[in-house]
Structure 1
C-alpha cells in the first residue's frame, strides 16, 4: 500500500535460478507493468536470496569445510550475479527500467518476508515449482511459507503444464 498519494505501491518479486521464478517475473511484468508503458502504478523490487555458505558447508559429512568455503561462496555469488543480470535483462526487454534488484543472504522464505516489510510491499509475487506433497514436506515451500507469513497479498504464479 502506498503511504503518500504520489508514492507508488511496491511489488516484490522473488527470483532464483529456476524457470518457475522467471515465469513469475515475466507474468508480473506483463500484468502489472507493460500495460501501463511509461507510467506503471507500481515500483518493482526483485529479490534474490542466496544461502549463507557456512550453513551449507556445515552439513555433516563434509570434511575440510574450511578449505571448500571460499569456492562455495564464489560459486553462490557467481550464480546470483547471473540470475540478477538475467532479471535486469528481462525487465529491460519489457521496457521496465525503474527496478531495484537486491541479493540478500539467507533463507528465501525469510528474505522475501523481510523484503516485503522493508519496502512496505503491497504484493509479493513468487513462482511455484509445482512440488507434490512429499517434496514440499521435505524441501519446504517458499510460496507456502510466504502465503502464511508475508504481511501483504501473495501471488503464487504457476507455469502452465506443457502439453505432450
Structure 2
C-alpha cells in the first residue's frame, strides 16, 4: 500500500459520525485512497465468537462487500446503517477507492489512537457529540483526547446543533 493514503473515519452510526463520514468523502477522499471506517464497541458488547477472537487487536480489515452483507455482520453483532453503506458504496464507485471497516472493543479514546498506529492511518475524521462543559468534565471528550494524543492529523466535524 505504498503511496496509498489510508483515511480513517470514526463511525458509531450516530448523526454526528455520519456527518463526519459524509464530510470526509466530500472534502478529503481522492481516487485510489483507502477509506477505513473505525468502529469502537463498548466492552460489554463482546462476550462470544468473533469479538473474543479479536478483543486485543480489533477485527481484521473487513471489505465493503462483507460489511454491507447483514448475514456476515451478524458475526460481529453489527448492523451498519443503510445510510452509511450507501455513502461508502457511492464513494467507492464514483471515486475508485477501497472501502474497509475495522472493529475494536474497548474505550473509544484508546482504541481510536491504537487504530491510528496499528492500521496505520494517515488521517482521521470524527464527529463530536456536543457535550456541554459539565458533561465534558465528568465524562471526558473522546474527540479532545484523540486530537491531543493522535500521531496523525485529526479533523473533528461539528454538527450545527452544538
- Would the TM-score normalized by the shorter structure come out above 0.5? yes
Q: Among residues 31, 34, 40, which one is paired with 1:43 in the alignment?
A: 34
When Rg is computed on C-alpha atoms for both structures, the one with the higher figure is: 1
CA shift, 1:85, in A, is 5.8
Contact 1:16–1:83 (Cα < 8 Å) also in 2: no
Distance 1:87 1:54 in 2: 21
RMSD: 2.8
Cα deviation, 1:99-122, whole Å, max 9, x if unaligned, reads 110111111111111110012322
The residue aligned with 2:18 is: 22
Distance change in 2, residues 1:121/1:84 (3 Å): farther
CA shift, 1:84, in A, is 6.5
The residue aligned with 1:133 is: 133
CA shift, 1:28, in A, is 0.3
TM-score (normalised: structure 2): 0.71
Instruction: List alignment gaps of at least 5 residues for structure 1.
Output: 56-68
The residue aligned with 1:153 is: 153
The residue aligned with 1:87 is: 84
Contact 1:49–1:106 (Cα < 8 Å) also in 2: yes
Instruction: List alignment gaps of at least 5 residues for structure 2.
Output: 52-72
TM-score (normalised: structure 1): 0.70
